[in-house]
Every structure is written in structure tokens, then in C-alpha cells.
Structure 1
């Protein structure tokens, strides 16, 4: 198997454990308020405190910069700065915003209102159009008399409430930046903004998923000579096919099929429990991975081997993700069901053997309560899952052993820095989900 040599360039990443040099994030703003008006419809796991979530995000950014010397690029700042000095990028920002802005009511008044906005584009700062893209407003021009101004009624359709989960809008591979096509309508428009980010950074996009392809960055793990790519609720077969053709140059790509949770009835899966690969599996270093042993043993893997540029052939036979990773020589630190559903696997590896881990002990109780609520509403579907999590929670309370405060990390030589993301995880993601890697060395 060929060995990669030399350092990575910006926008090309070969391994999850390479030293993180530069990363993109998005500080959540008013769009999070809109999401919290109905957490479930916004794809959030639960209600949480917005101001505390923003404070957690700020502290996470400070840890990245101050403790590890990582260059942190903020989506809004980078796009606006570039738009103010680059007429082409500003024009793209404005065009996207005009497409996101909707009008209802009298067609003549809607046409006039849009024309007025276009006439004044040079009056508005770039922030104005960025906020249109994030909030996606619709202006209702009903209920006004012929010569009177419209009564102001504004709604927001699919605001980008999940934008702070910056991992998912692209896959940064050994070949370059592959733009996702998001699975859910609530997230479909996020790439309109993140494509501007990559242009602002001067980093070429190698391909953008198209047509019937669905693919998201949380399903991708680069592992130096090979890569893992999840297929399931958030990444479909067409997305996998396009990724293999345009986005990867690894010797081998293992396609991991999203497992139904073994503790739930097989005919009634809940894909949100392991929506992305990084929700139950992650990489802590060049020799160690962390994941739910239960789900890894039930996740089947198809192996695709590189035959030439953009050409992969499927090897015969299937194996479990657990078997596949063991066969690659990695040590596996297994997570319990409670740890996995408390975002233990959603840590960020900042360099080989060093991770920023979530303080799982602060989330475990709310994760248990979330499943308990589901079990009360549907005991057939969630009863066994809740019973197992309750047993594990009682054991952790008595022993104090819960990831990342576990012997297994020490025994495998993994150093961790714990961060409180108690509120931010309420959006259904953690440190890994919130970061788009730009450069690893």
C-alpha cells in the first residue's frame, strides 16, 4: 500500500489525526433563536439555553486558539471581509440572497419591492445579504390597499438553524473540498454560504454533489491510506458514487452502512440515534479509534479499492466496521450506549493522540431524560434502549468512570482536554460536528 509523503496543503486532508493548523467555525446568532422556537422541526435534539450555547461556542474557539495555536476562521467574518474587497464575491453573495428572499401577495407589489431592493444594493452592507441568507425571510404583501404601503409581515422559511455544525457542508479529502448536498430541507441551503467561504479562502472546490446525490461531511473520516464514508440517512448511494468518482484519491474507501440500533425493534429504526458516522465512531490518533462497540459490530462495510483516477472497484464480501478497523491494526476504545448518545464520540482530534473531548458527564442525564421521554410515549420502540441507558447511568454514578474520564484513554496514551458543550449539543452534535478542517499537517 502506497504511503503519502509531505505535508498537506490547505483544503486537502489525508488523516483525521494530522496536527490541526486551521479550522472554520460559525458562531450561532439569531438563527438559533428561530430554531429554538421549535427544536424538533429544526432538527435539534432538545431545548437549551441560547445565550449559554453562544458562550460555550466562544470558549471552544478560545481553546482552539489559545491552547493549541490553531488558526480559527469564522464563517461570517471571512465571507464579509472577502465580499467587501472582492466585487465578484459580493455579487455572488447578493445574488444568493436575492434568491433566498421570498414575496407573497400582490405580484405587482412583489415585483416592485424586489426592484427596489436591487436598486439599493450598493446602499446595504454585506451583512445585510448574509443575514438574508441565514434567515431566509418571506415578506407578505397581502392585505394592503392600492396606494398604501404594505403592512409588514415577515416569516422565515427553513432558516439556517444548523449552520454552526460546520462539518457537514463539505468533505475535505486528500483530493480537495467536495461540497455536500444536504439530506434535510432544513439544511439544504447551508452550502450557499459555505461555498462563499471556500472562495473567500482561495481554496478550490473539486466537485459539488449534484442531481439525486445526498452526502454530508459528518459521514467522512480520512485515515491516511484509506478513508471511511458512511451511507445511510444523511448520505445515499449516489452521494457515495460521486464521492468515489470526484472526491477521493485514497488507496481504499470503506463504505460503512448505517446500522439500525440493536436495542430497538428492527422494523422501526430511529436514524437520528446515529445519523452520521461521527455520532458513533471517531479517530483519536494514528493507532486508536473510539466508538460504540455495539453499533460498530452491527455496521456492515463494503470496501472499494482504487483502480485508477476516479475509478474504484468493490471488493468481494462484507465485514463489520469493528472487524475492518481491527484488521487495519487500530486499538478500539468502546463506548457504552449512554456515552455514545451523550456525544462522547463527537470529539475533535487536534493532533496525534490529543483530543478535545466533550464533558459527557454534564450531558448524560439530559440524554437519559430525552430517551426516557420517548420511552414513555412509545415503550415498544424505546423501552429496551432506555432500560440499558438507565443501567449504565447508575453504574457511572457509582464508579465515576465515564468518557473521557476513563482508564482506556490513559491505557492507550490519549490525552484529552474536556470542554463543556452542554447546551450546544442540544442541537444534535458536538466538537467534531462544529468544525470544518481547513489544514492538517
Structure 2
């Protein structure tokens, strides 16, 4: 997980450009994230944050830098995100490259962390007096990094680095990969190539199988890579095809989710949609035999597949509850979920009637970034939860 702090600010002052739904309070968002992590810990989860992983082994108890391999690696990594722009003073290019390395050697690890999260660019110009230089400053903050679901997927074989569809977010996968390598869980693969995009919000393990959404953010080319490289570790992959392609339901986990092997939720607009509607969902099923996947079902009605083929109960999510991210819950065990607080009495009663143990998490600010409880977490190992 990643607790958002100062890197959010430029995003909330122009939400559309940041891929956010609306303005929200940065400090309150950080507080909500801390409270959510506390609830996860109390539920038995071990929670790692990006900040903790990046800084691990680089600071002593007084906050001073500790020289060693961890700090060396952090310095090198931070250097990839700090730009000294010398276009206006090309004769200074080599000198400024050396000066940048000097600054990085002196920087406290927490400032190296800020460099990574803010991606600053120092645009240099020459002056006659004082220090001889002036600058303007630009930032490309990682304002969506707190949605840690999307930079990777955790399959039954290991972790696969995703390829983000939005230019605002493409750099986040590099941070995720650095963290994975540091904690000794190197990824087994990385999505690459023209037209191949994968975001983790489209991937949902289901027992020993898995669902994956193909639509606005994840493409068939990426899904093919997962199968061709045998990165999934499952004998059945169910590809949910979305033709609506709307931002409000950008990922599979915004309109569909799994509570137990016989209980799922689905947005009502998808549940009720007929074949003539763009909101109608179909499913293709791929099965693995002798190490190769082949398609065994094509274009089936997703609702019928859930109810008749898989035999699961579907709880439709009303439009008001969907807009409050009712589908974007985190399943922590069979019929145990962490969900966004404030859902309707009807939904609360439906969940209770099916024996679902819900921990309600208040997230009024964080959800304005277009995500919720599921989006903000990434599991590091996939076992059958139910």
C-alpha cells in the first residue's frame, strides 16, 4: 500500500488531469488511509507500505542516513527521477550532471523518497551575479500511486508487472518493481509491446481460477502475453469483455467482485443489460492443457455464465451504491470483506442475509480519486482465499 501525502496536491487542484473524480482534502485522505491500514492489521493482514520499503535500511533511529547497499540503491533509483534541464546552458551539461550526483550523495533518504514521488525537473538558466544560476521548477508527481492494485497482478505463479494505459501512471510500475526486488519477491514477468496494456484492477482470482477484464484499461494483447508465457498458474482464465468503456467503470473491480466461491456482486446496470446494450458483458473462457491455453467458450452472456455455469449467487449493486464504490471491496476471507462505508440499507441487509462479515471503512476523500478499498491494496501472494 502507499499512503498518499504531498504528491497529491497538484492532482487535487485539477482533478481531471490527475485522473481524479473531484477535489478532495489531502490531509484527510492520508488519515483515511492510515485508518484503513489499521483495520487491515487488526484483521490479521501484514501491511507493507511503499514508503517503508523504500526507506528500509537507509535510516538510523535518529533519522540520519545509514551508508550501505540499501542507500546506494535508493540514491541510484532516485537519480532516475531527478532532471537537471540544461537546454538553455548546454556548455554546463557535464558540470551539472556531476553536481546532480553530488546533491544525491548528500541527500537524506527521505528527500530521495520525495524525489521519486514528485519527479522534479530543475530548468536551469545562467545569471551574471550571485551563484550564477537561476531555475524554474516542474513536477510530475505520482499522484495515483496510492492505488497500488494497478501496477502489477499477483497470480498463482508470482507477480507480473503491469503496463499502465494512462501516461500519468506509466512510471508507477517502476516503483512497484523496485519495491518487489528489495523485499526479495522479484517479478516473474513484465507486460510489454505495442497495444499490450494490463492494470491490476482488472484481475480477480476466483478459487483456483481467475477473472480478467478486457476493456478500457486492459487489452487482449496483454492477456495473450499472460497465457503465452504461462504466468498465470491457473488452468482456467475467464475473460470478461466490456464494450461500454466508461471511466466510472474502468476496471473489472469497479463493477464486479467476488465474496466467496458461490457469491459475487455485479453492478445492476450490467446485471440487467441485454445483448443490444453497450453495457452488456460477455465472457470468453480459456483452459490450459499440456501447458497451452485454448478458448473453450466464446461470447457467452456473463450473467448466465455466473449463475448457470458457475452456480454462484449474484447480488446486484444499485446505481447509488455503485457510485459509492460498493463493488470495490477487499475480500480477506470467505464471506469476509472490507468495504466502503455509507452503502444503502438494502445492500447491508442483502450482505447480512448471505452471511457476509463486513468491516465498513470510511473513505469519503480517497474515493474521489476514482477508487476504493480494493484499488488501494495489492496482495503479494495468491492462495485460494475461498
2:298 is matched with which residue: 293, 317, 342? 317
Q: Which runs of 5+ in 2 are unaligned?
A: 60-65, 274-279
Q: Which runs of 5+ in 1 are unaligned?
A: 1-24, 261-268, 362-399
Structure 1 residues 71-126: Cα deviation after superposition (integer angstroms, max 9, x where no partner): 11111111210566895554443333323222333223344222112134332233
- Distance in 2, matches of 1:233 and 1:120, equals 42
- Distance in 1, matches of 2:38 and 2:68, equals 32
Structure 1 or 2: more helix by fraction: 1
Q: Does 1:48 align with 2:24?
A: yes
Map 1:264-343 → 2, pairs under 5 A: 271-296=246-271, 297=273, 298-309=280-291, 311-326=292-307, 327-343=309-325
* Partner SS for 2:17: coil
- Distance in 2, matches of 1:253 and 1:86, equals 46
Residues 422 and 164 (structure 1), Cα distance of their counterparts in 2 relative to 1, 3 Å cut = same
Q: Judge conservation of contact 1:343–1:360 (CA < 8 Å) in 2.
A: no
1:134 is matched with which residue: 113, 117, 125? 117
Structure 1 residues 47-75: Cα deviation after superposition (integer angstroms, max 9, x where no partner): 11111111111111111112x12111111
Map 1:51-130 → 2, pairs under 5 A: 51-66=27-42, 68-82=43-57, 90-104=71-85, 105-130=88-113
Tell me what 2:11 maps to. 35
Tell me what 2:277 maps to. none
- Distance in 1, matches of 2:103 and 2:27, equals 34
Q: Judge conservation of contact 2:286–2:297 (CA < 8 Å) in 1.
A: no
Residues 349 and 98 (structure 1), Cα distance of their counterparts in 2 relative to 1, 3 Å cut = same
Tell me what 2:360 maps to. 418
Q: Judge conservation of contact 2:55–2:109 (CA < 8 Å) in 1.
A: yes
* Partner SS for 1:48: coil
RMSD: 2.1
Structure 1 residues 129-187: Cα deviation after superposition (integer angstroms, max 9, x where no partner): 22212111111113534884322321113x21000001111000101000011110110
- Distance in 2, matches of 1:230 and 1:106, equals 49
Q: Judge conservation of contact 1:89–1:196 (CA < 8 Å) in 2.
A: no
Deviates more, 1:329-338 or 1:145-154: 145-154
* Partner SS for 1:410: helix
The TM-score, its normalising length taken from structure 2, stands at 0.89
* Partner SS for 1:284: strand
Deviates more, 1:240-249 or 1:341-350: 240-249
Q: Judge conservation of contact 1:279–1:345 (CA < 8 Å) in 2.
A: yes
- Highest RCO, 1 vs 2 (Cα 8 Å, sep ≥ 6): 1
- Distance in 2, matches of 1:207 and 1:89, equals 24
Structure 1 residues 280-299: Cα deviation after superposition (integer angstroms, max 9, x where no partner): 01111222111113325511
Map 1:347-358 → 2, pairs under 5 A: 347-358=329-340
Q: Judge conservation of contact 2:75–2:105 (CA < 8 Å) in 1.
A: no
Tell me what 1:255 maps to. 239
Residues 316 and 329 (structure 1), Cα distance of their counterparts in 2 relative to 1, 3 Å cut = closer
Residues 150 and 274 (structure 1), Cα distance of their counterparts in 2 relative to 1, 3 Å cut = same
Q: Judge conservation of contact 2:6–2:26 (CA < 8 Å) in 1.
A: no
- Distance in 2, matches of 1:73 and 1:222, equals 21
Number of equivalent positions: 365
Tell me what 1:234 maps to. 217
Residues 47 and 120 (structure 1), Cα distance of their counterparts in 2 relative to 1, 3 Å cut = closer
The TM-score, its normalising length taken from structure 1, stands at 0.78
Deviates more, 1:131-140 or 1:109-118: 109-118
Q: Judge conservation of contact 1:291–1:340 (CA < 8 Å) in 2.
A: no
Residues 355 and 316 (structure 1), Cα distance of their counterparts in 2 relative to 1, 3 Å cut = closer
